[in-house]
Amino acid sequence: MSEFFDPSKEVCKHGKRLPHWQQGEVMQFVTFRLGDSMPEAKLRKWSQERKVWLGHHPKPWEDATEKAYHERFTREMEDGLDAGYGSCLLRSKEYRKQLEAVLLYDEGVMVEHHAWVIMPNHVHLLFRPMAPIADLLRKWKGISARKIGQGGIWQRGYRDTLVRDGRHFMNAVRYIRRNPLKLKAGDFTLWESERAKNV
């Protein structure tokens, strides 16, 4: 099985509004966030514009279309997350340790992590799923919310991208590594596998 996305092979799609894609154990770059990490008005506007754009550009995308999407929507969302809106519960080292333990619990069994960063109000992960991605995210978010003791802290859903090739893998590692550069050292947790450390 390839570790990178193969457009000629079958893709499992799930989710109603904006489907999530999984192709066996192909690597994924995933972002999930706290429920209060974006102001509602900003999020509504972003969602409406994105829905219209996606209606005009159905997947699968050519490289140029994917680049246009990320320049328009991913960058805007990431800038909003990095602005530090909301409670930023994950600024707490103790809460980050709780989430870290949950992420690493199934390492080598249900998931092979390559890199992740826990930011004050969101998380970026690069990993190879060995189980359905929806099950992994449900487990990570559910258990971590209970351990943190805050109930429904997470936004429903997540953003996922199948990793296309080695260059995409390296770009994802670098993105994760650069994401916390503007933060104080104690406000985030960065984790990298040996493979990611060599990027």
Please indicate, yes or no, if residue 181 is contained in any of the structural domains. yes
Please indicate, yes or no, if residue 19 is contained in any of the structural domains. yes
Residue 118: pLDDT above 90?
yes
Residue 120: pLDDT above 70?
yes
What distances in angstroms separate CA 153 from CA 32, 135, 146, 173, one per listed residue? Answer: 11, 18, 9, 26
Please indicate, yes or no, if residue 52 is contained in any of the structural domains. no
Quick one: pLDDT at residue 135? 94
Please give the residue that has the higher pLDDT: either 35 or 177: 177
Q: Across residues 108-135, what is the average pLDDT?
A: 96
133: phi then psi, degrees, rounded to nearest 5: -60, -35
CATH of the domain at 106: 3.30.70.1290
Burial of 108 (0-12, 13-18, 19+ CB in 10 A): exposed
Quick one: pLDDT at residue 18? 64
Render pLDDT for 128-167 as a digit per residue (tens, 0 to 9): 999 999 999 999 999 999 998 767 899 888 989 999 999 9
Please indicate, yes or no, if residue 106 is contained in any of the structural domains. yes
Please indicate, yes or no, if residue 53 is contained in any of the structural domains. no
Write down the residue that tokens 């690597």 correspond to.
27
Render pLDDT for 31-88 as a digit per residue (tens, 0 to 9): 999 988 776 777 788 788 888 888 898 877 888 888 888 788 777 777 666 666 678 9
Structural domains in the chain (count): 1
Quick one: pLDDT at residue 98? 96
Quick one: pLDDT at residue 182? 87
**pTM summary value:** 0.79
Quick one: pLDDT at residue 124? 97
Please indicate, yes or no, if residue 56 is contained in any of the structural domains. no
Q: Domain range holding 142? A: 12-37+87-197
95 CB-near residues (< 8 Å, 6+ apart) = 89, 148
Please give the residue that has the higher pLDDT: either 14 or 153: 153
Render pLDDT for 19-28 as a digit per residue (tens, 0 to 9): 787 778 889 9
Render pLDDT for 85-111 as a digit per residue (tens, 0 to 9): 678 999 999 999 999 999 999 999 999
Please indicate, yes or no, if residue 174 is contained in any of the structural domains. yes
The DSSP line for the chain is: --SS--TTS--EEE-SSS-EEE-TT--EEEEEEBTTSS-HHHHHHHHHHHHHHHHHSPSSPPHHHHHHHIIIIIHHHHHHHHTT-S--GGGSHHHHHHHHHHHHHTBTTTEEEEEEEE-SSEEEEEEEESS-HHHHHHHHHHHHHHHHT-SS-BPSS-EEEE--SHHHHHHHHHHHHHTTTTS-GGG-EEEE-HHHHT-
Please indicate, yes or no, if residue 180 is contained in any of the structural domains. yes
Residue 17: pLDDT above 90?
no
